[in-house]
Amino acid sequence: MANERIEVNPEIMGGKPIIRGTRVPVELVLRKLCAGLTADEIITDHPRLTPDDIRAAQAFAVDYLADENVIYG
């Protein structure tokens, strides 16, 4: 699940995954995408981000979920 654009550091944002070099949590990027914002709109709100950062946040979430055990019932 390693991604050079994502950082997890207990000293930054309480250890939440962030976009490296920023204090922008991956969760925030994903929530904005789910709310219907485009990558360009997110970058307008957070000018230090790049389209590759947005894709890295999505890939991080996919990789994280791929390792989860899902229990139905």
What pLDDT is stored for residue 31 in this prediction? Answer: 98
Over residues 23-71, the pLDDT tens digits come to 999 999 999 999 999 999 999 999 999 999 999 999 999 998 887 776 7
Q: For residue 36, tell me if it sits in a domain.
A: yes
What pLDDT is stored for residue 24 in this prediction? Answer: 98
Contact at 8 Å (CB) between 16 and 27? yes
Q: Is the sign of the CA dihedral 16, 17, 23, 28 positive or negative?
A: negative
pTM for the full predicted model: 0.88
The CATH number assigned to the domain holding 18 equals 1.10.10.10
Number of domains forming the structure of the chain: 1
Q: For residue 73, tell me if it sits in a domain.
A: no
DSSP 37-48: --HHHHHHHSTT
Q: Whole domain around residue 49: which residue ranges?
A: 6-66
